Amino acid sequence: MAAVDLQGVTKSYDGKTTVIHGIDLDIRHGEFVVFVGPSGCGKSTLLRMIAGLEPISGGEVRIEGRRVNELPPRHRDIAMVFQDYALYPHKTLFDNMAFGLRLRKTSETEIQRRVMDAARLLRIDHMLDRRPAALSGGQRQRVAIGRAIVREPKVFLFDEPLSNLDAQLRNEMRSEIKRLHQRLGATIIYVTHDQVEAMTLADRIAVLQGGHKMQYDTPDAIYNRPAALFVAGFTGAPAMNLCDCTWVHDHDHGGQADLGGVRVAVLPELAARAATTATLKFGVRPENIALVPVTPQDQAVPAEVQLLEPLGAETLVTLRIGRADMVARCPASFRERPGTAVTAYLRAPQLHLFDAASGMAL
């Protein structure tokens, strides 16, 4: 295990256009950190810079306290698992997993021990004499992970390892990787564009957009206390409801967010900042809109049913509240028809306001 520190890391391919903008990250011993963001946000580039596969334009990368900017990948004591498995088709699974150890002149006795230990851990010890063509995608990915494990590196790097798998296999392999981390206690840095993977796997998540770090925090904080509009809209399925609003001063409440004829009170600390912000966005997660009151703090607002999307265990209901359409998570039994007037209840402690100009949370 090893800690990894990034200090002001930047990347430019041509010396003019910056694609990674001064990233600072501290990754602790044994921590599982996920880089998440849309395609082109710089997450794989950042991972490759840590691995030594891309040169660093500025800043420092330290592994276990040692600066590694100029070190080649083989001297950084890391192991990387790629999206495309990168297995040798003519070699058996055993030989694929042993290949890197043989290049390092590891003894055959030690190779045998490490490969068998990793294979048992990944439940592929009964197929080590097979070749990759005989395996499913999930089994091939296990071999690729096993090849990394036998290296016994300080840091594991995963670059979208599940993106080539179907939905069911992705779910299975996600659980395998989570269990693997619990057993090995290894430092893992994992790249994905799938925010569900990020939320379920990570101890901490770095959300990236356009080469910028938008937020670096626990999954709970990322989801419930997003630092920026982008983070709020990227996480969650469905994502947070976001709409334009205006701030209205009144003597009774100090001020309320007006969603287009429907006014909502927010926490006092948000109200104080909202009063001085020129343009605002209002946000609320679907599970924080209910059609029956749940807590004494719930605020009743008039709404109209627009659309129902039954999902079996629940129904997603699109409601028109003021001028905004918002999605609410409702019981599967909800059957009101579109056009029906209902009362929606918003949970005050879970309401968010953002500065529309900067995109940052108030």
Residues 6+ apart with CB under 8 A from 18: 10, 11, 12, 57, 211
With 0.85 as the threshold, say if the pTM is over it: yes
Q: Which stretches of the chain drop beneath a pLDDT of 70?
A: 1, 251-254
Mode of pairing for the β-strands spanning 263-264 and 256-258 = antiparallel
Angstrom distance (rounded) from CA 101 to CA 76? 16
Please give the Cα distance from 19 to 60 (Å, whole number). 16
For tokens 């790097």, the residue is: 157
pLDDT at 82: 87
**pLDDT of res. 192:** 95
| pLDDT value at residue 85 | 79
Q: According to the model, what pLDDT value does residue 286 have?
A: 97
Name 70's Cβ contacts closer than 8 Å, sequence gap at least 6: none
Closest by CA position to 95, among listed 120, 128, 121, 126: 128
Coil vs helix vs strand at 101: helix
Q: What is the pLDDT of residue 1?
A: 66
Strands of the chain, DSSP E: 4-12, 18-27, 32-36, 58-63, 66-67, 78-81, 155-159, 187-192, 204-209, 212-217, 241-248, 256-258, 263-264, 280-284, 289-290, 298-310, 314-321, 324-331, 341-347, 351-355
- Per-residue model confidence (pLDDT) at position 110: 95
Predicted local distance difference test score (pLDDT) of residue 276: 84
CA distance 5 to 112: 34
